[in-house]
């Protein structure tokens, strides 16, 4: 019997302390009989404690290792769903928007150099001012966390750090709106990110080391 399934995940995700099984069935959208069956199975694993009150059975969480593992799994599933929505939105949106230098650099480098922010699902976006309210509305719809100040505490994944700029130049690569390679390299140079600069030079056959000034300063 597979204890990890859509029904048990929904039960643990939506059940609240003291809820009746009938209320949980209503909140999850599954049949009462199915919810009752799996709550009984979870109770056998000490995930829930069941209490009879009148003619109803109520549940209380024990918060043991199995419960914690379920909650972590649910968090990862939700995180993954938000990731899919974010990247799908970035490819399809008509807003004047691009992935910022910090995120574009990783994509230009084809994953051969990954910043800690990218690894931690923190992505940077540049957008024009008039499209900013539309972007925020869409992120709220997708329940995606976004901030304008990168110094603020990041509590959920993914998190989008938004930078408003006047006229972003955009290059599309595999459907993604990126910061142009020239801008990315200038930014890397400013921060002395030599490893990624060298990698970009190799990938795109750019004479970065010796002719950087001629190639990019006057671009």
Over range 195-215, report the average pLDDT: 71
Phi, psi of 127 (to 5 degrees): -150, 155
- State the pLDDT at residue 213: 41
**What mean pLDDT, rounded, does the chain reach?**
89
Express as a percent the part of the chain with pLDDT over 90: 70
Q: Where in the chain is the domain with CATH 1.10.10.10?
A: 6-63
- State the pLDDT at residue 54: 82
d(CA 119, CA 108): 15
Neighbours of 24 (CB within 10 A): 24
For the chain, the C-alpha Rg in angstroms (whole number) is: 24
Q: Which two tokens stand for residue 108?
A: 């230009």
The structure's pTM equals 0.79
Q: Answer whether CATH 1.10.10.10 is correct for domain 6-63.
A: yes
* Strand pairing class (97-99; 122-127): antiparallel
Selection from 151, 169, 217 nearest residue 189 by Cα: 217
Assess whether pLDDT exceeds 80 at residue 29: yes
More confident residue, 169 or 113: 169
- State the pLDDT at residue 111: 80
- Residue 214: asked if its preceding bond is cis (omega within 30°), the reply is no
């Amino acid at each position: 019997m597979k204890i990890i399934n859509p029904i048990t995940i929904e039960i643990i995700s939506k059940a609240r302390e003291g809820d009746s099984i009938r209320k949980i069935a209503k909140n999850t959208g599954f049949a009462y009989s199915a919810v009752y069956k799996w709550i009984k199975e979870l109770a056998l694993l000490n995930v829930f404690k069941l209490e009879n009150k009148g003619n109803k059975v109520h549940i209380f969480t024990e918060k043991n290792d199995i419960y914690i593992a379920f909650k972590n799994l649910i968090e990862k599933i939700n995180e993954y769903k938000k990731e899919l929505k974010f990247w799908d939105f970035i490819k399809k949106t008509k807003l004047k928007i691009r992935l910022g230098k910090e995120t574009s650099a990783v994509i230009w480098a084809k994953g051969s150099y990954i910043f800690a922010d990218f690894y931690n699902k923190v992505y940077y976006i540049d957008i024009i001012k008039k499209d900013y309210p539309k972007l925020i509305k869409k992120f709220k719809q997708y329940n995606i966390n976004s901030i304008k100040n990168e110094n603020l505490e990041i509590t959920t994944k993914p998190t989008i750090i938004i930078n408003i700029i006047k006229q972003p130049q955009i290059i599309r690569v595999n459907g993604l709106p990126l910061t142009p390679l020239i801008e990315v390299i200038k930014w890397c140079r400013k921060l002395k990110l030599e490893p990624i600069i060298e990698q970009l030079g190799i990938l795109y056959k750019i004479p970065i080391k010796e002719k950087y000034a001629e190639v990019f300063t006057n671009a």
